[in-house]
C-alpha cells in the first residue's frame, strides 16, 4: 500500500478538524453538556470554545518557535527525554482511551439506531477496518477526502438544522441562562476537553504546508466547530426541550429520525450515509494520530505499520463493555474530566519552559536574519 | 464469528511480530520489544474481552 508523504493545505487541515471535532455533535457529547448546563448547553459550548482559545493560542505560540517539530518532539525538546516521554505516554494513553470509548459509542449508535440485528462485533470490525485502511493511506489522503466530502456533510447537517428549527419551539431555549450563570461556567470547565483534540492536532503541525496555514487553520476551525456544535445544541433543545434532550443518549440521531422534509418521512436514510462517512474520516484520523505518537515514543519512523496493531487493540478493548450505552457514557465523562486539566495546563507549561529557555528570542533572531 | 475474530487477530499478530523483528534488526530494541509485547497482548486480549 502506497502511503502519500505530501503535506496538508489549509483547506484540508480545516476540513479534517471540522469533521473530527464537528461530528461530536452527533454522539453523546450534547447529552453530557446538557446534564450540567440544562437548556443553556449551547451557551456552555460557546464558553468552552472561548475558554479553549487560551490553550490553543498558547500552543500555536509554542509551535511558532518549533515549526519543524510535532507535539511529541516539542515535548521531548522542552521537558527532556525522560519526562517528555512520560508526558507523551500519558497523552497516548488518554488519547487511546478516548479513541476506544468514542469508537464504542459510534458502534453503539449504529447498533442501536440503524442495524439493530447486526452483532456489535461485526459493526466494530467493519467500521475500524475501513478506518484502519484510511489511516494507512496517510494524512494527505485523509485530508483530500475530508475536503472533498466536507460540503456534502455540512449541507446535509444544515438541512437537518433548518428543518429542526422549523419544527421546534423557540420558547424551549428560555430561561436563557438555564440553571444559572455559575452552572454554565461549571459545565464549561468540566467539559472543556471536548476540544482537547486541538492538543493532538499538534502532532500533524509540521505536516501542514506552512506555519501560517497551521495557525490560521486552527483558529478558523476552532471558531467553526464551536458555532456548529452550539447551533446543533440550540436545535436539539428547540425540538425536544432540555428535559428530553438530556435523557436522549444521541440527540442528533433522534432528531434526524424525528424530522420530516415535506412529504418525505424516514429522512435518516438521507443523513446516515453522510454521517457514516464523517465517522470513517474521524477514526481514520484518530488512528493515524495514535500511530504517529506511538511511533514517536518508540522512535519508529515507519509508524504506519503500527496501525493494524493499534486498531486490533482498540477493537478488542472496545468490545468488552456488556452494556455499552451506560458504561461508555460514564467512561466518556471520566475521560473528559481527565483530559480537561491536561488540555488547560500543558500548553501554558510548555510556553513557560520555552520562554525560560529563550526559544522565542531565537525565533525573533531567525525571522530578522 | 469467534473464528473470524481469531483469524484476524492472528494475522495482525503475525504481521506485527514480523514488524517487531524488523525493528530488532534495525537496532531499535526498545521499539521492537514494545511492538512484540503489544502483539502478544492482542492475542491474549480476546480471552478477557470477547471470549469471556
d(CA A109, CA A115): 9
Q: What pLDDT does residue A5 have?
A: 61
Best to test chain A binding among B14, B20, B32, B49 (most A CBs inside 10 Å): B49
Residue A175 preceded by cis peptide, ω within 30? yes
Query: Best of A124, A293, A312, A321 to disrupt the B interface by mutation (most B CBs within 10 Å)?
Result: A312
- CB–CB contact A119 B1 (8 Å): yes
Indicate yes or no: CB of B16 within 8 angstroms of CB of A308: yes
Write out the H or E segment, with its range, that includes residue A275: helix A268-297
User: What are the residues of chain A with a beta carbon less than 8 Å away from any beta carbon of chain B?
Assistant: 119, 121-122, 125, 298-300, 305-306, 308-309, 311-313, 316-317, 319-320
Pick the residue from chain A with its C-alpha nearest to B30.
Answer: A298
CA distance linking residue A227 with residue A42, whole number of Å: 9
Q: How confident is the model at residue A364 (pLDDT cuts 50, 70, 90)?
A: low
Integer Cα distance of A27 and B4 in angstroms: 29
Cβ distance of B45 and A316 shorter than 8 Å:
yes
Per residue in A32-48, pLDDT tens?
888 888 888 899 999 99
Q: What does the block give as the cell for A252?
A: 442528533
Return the minimum-mean-pLDDT range out of A215-219, A259-263, A276-280.
A259-263
Average confidence (pLDDT) over A334-358: 88
Domain that holds residue B42: 2-49
Label residues B39-48 b or e (16+ Cβ within 10 Å = b): beebbebbee
**What's the pLDDT score for residue A360?**
79
pLDDT bin (cut points 50, 70, 90) of residue A315 is very high
pLDDT band at A257 (very low <50, low <70, confident <90, very high): confident
Instruction: Give tens-digit pLDDT for A110-157.
Output: 998 888 899 888 999 999 999 999 999 989 999 999 999 999 999 988
Measured in angstroms, the CA of A110 and the nearest CA of chain B are apart by 19
Whether chain A has a CB inside 8 Å of the CB on B33: the answer is no
For A104-123, what is each residue's pLDDT tens digit? 999 999 998 888 899 888 99
Distances (CA, A) of A92 to A2, A68, A72: 26, 21, 10
Residue of B nearest to A311 (CA): B12
ipTM given for this complex: 0.94
What distance in Å separates the CA atoms of residue A191 and residue A42, rounded to the nearest whole number?
Answer: 13
Neighbours of A361 (CB within 10 A): 11
| Interface membership of B43 toward A (CB under 8 Å) | no
Q: Do B12 and A308 touch (CB under 8 A)?
A: yes
Which of A237, A329, A343 has the alpha carbon at shortest distance from A29? A329
> Is B50 near chain A, with CB under 8 Å?
yes
3-class SS of residue A8: strand
CA-closest candidate to residue B5, choices A124, A182, A280? A124
pLDDT at A103: 92
Q: Which residues contact A187 (CB under 8 A, 6 or more apart)?
A: A33, A35, A36, A37, A41, A44
- Residue A298: per-residue pLDDT: 92
Return the pLDDT at A320.
84
Could you tell me which chain A residue has the CA closest to the CA of B18? A305
> Average model confidence (pLDDT) for chain B?
89
Q: Is the pLDDT of residue A309 over 70?
A: yes
pLDDT given for residue A367 in this prediction = 56
Alpha-carbon distance of A184 to A177, in angstroms, equals 8
What domain count does chain B have? 1
A203, pLDDT greater than 60:
yes
Class of domain A10-363: mainly alpha
**What's the mean pLDDT when you consider all of chain A?**
88
Residue spans per domain, chain A: 10-363
Would you state the pLDDT for residue A321?
A: 81
Q: What's the pLDDT score for residue A58?
A: 94
Amino acid at each position: 500500500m502506497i502511503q502519500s508523504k505530501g503535506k496538508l493545505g489549509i483547506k484540508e487541515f480545516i476540513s479534517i478538524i471540522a469533521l473530527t471535532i464537528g461530528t461530536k455533535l452527533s454522539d453523546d457529547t450534547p447529552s453530557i453538556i446538557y446534564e450540567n448546563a440544562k437548556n443553556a448547553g449551547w451557551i456552555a459550548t460557546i464558553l468552552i470554545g472561548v475558554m479553549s482559545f487560551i490553550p490553543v493560542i498558547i500552543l500555536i505560540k509554542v509551535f511558532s518557535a518549533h515549526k519543524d517539530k510535532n507535539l511529541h518532539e516539542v515535548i521531548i525538546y522542552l521537558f527532556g527525554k525522560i519526562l517528555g516521554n512520560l508526558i507523551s505516554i500519558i497523552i497516548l494513553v488518554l488519547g487511546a482511551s478516548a479513541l476506544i470509548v468514542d469508537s464504542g459509542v459510534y458502534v453503539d449508535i449504529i447498533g442501536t439506531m440503524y442495524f439493530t440485528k447486526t452483532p456489535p462485533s461485526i459493526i466494530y470490525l467493519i467500521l475500524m477496518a475501513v478506518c484502519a485502511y484510511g489511516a494507512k493511506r496517510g494524512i494527505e489522503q485523509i485530508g483530500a477526502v475530508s475536503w472533498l466530502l466536507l460540503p456534502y456533510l455540512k449541507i446535509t447537517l444544515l438541512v437537518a438544522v433548518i428543518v429542526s428549527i422549523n419544527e421546534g419551539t423557540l420558547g424551549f431555549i428560555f430561561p436563557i441562562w438555564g440553571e444559572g450563570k455559575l452552572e454554565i461556567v461549571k459545565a464549561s470547565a468540566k467539559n472543556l476537553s471536548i476540544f482537547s483534540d486541538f492538543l493532538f492536532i499538534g502532532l500533524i503541525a509540521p505536516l501542514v504546508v506552512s506555519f501560517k496555514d497551521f495557525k490560521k487553520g486552527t483558529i478558523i476551525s476552532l471558531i467553526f466547530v464551536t458555532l456548529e456544535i452550539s447551533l446543533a445544541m440550540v436545535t436539539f433543545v428547540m425540538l425536544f426541550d432540555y428535559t428530553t434532550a438530556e435523557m436522549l443518549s444521541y440527540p442528533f440521531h433522534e432528531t434526524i429520525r424525528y424530522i420530516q422534509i415535506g412529504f418525505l418521512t424516514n429522512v435518516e436514510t438521507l443523513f446516515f450515509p453522510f454521517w457514516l462517512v464523517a465517522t470513517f474520516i474521524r477514526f481514520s484520523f484518530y488512528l493515524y494520530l495514535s500511530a504517529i505518537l506511538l511511533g514517536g515514543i518508540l522512535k519508529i519512523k515507519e509508524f504506519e505499520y503500527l496501525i493494524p496493531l493499534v486498531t486490533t487493540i482498540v477493537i478488542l478493548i472496545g468490545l468488552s463493555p456488556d452494556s455499552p450505552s451506560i458504561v461508555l457514557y460514564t467512561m466518556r465523562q471520566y475521560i473528559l474530566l481527565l483530559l480537561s486539566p491536561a488540555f488547560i495546563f500543558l500548553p501554558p507549561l510548555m510556553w513557560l519552559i520555552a520562554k525560560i529557555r529563550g526559544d522565542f528570542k531565537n525565533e525573533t533572531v531567525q525571522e530578522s536574519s | 464469528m469467534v473464528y473470524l475474530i481469531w483469524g484476524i487477530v492472528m494475522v495482525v499478530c503475525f504481521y506485527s511480530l514480523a514488524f517487531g523483528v524488523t525493528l530488532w534488526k534495525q537496532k531499535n530494541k526498545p521499539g521492537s520489544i514494545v511492538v512484540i509485547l503489544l502483539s502478544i497482548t492482542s492475542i491474549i486480549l480476546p480471552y478477557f474481552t470477547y471470549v469471556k
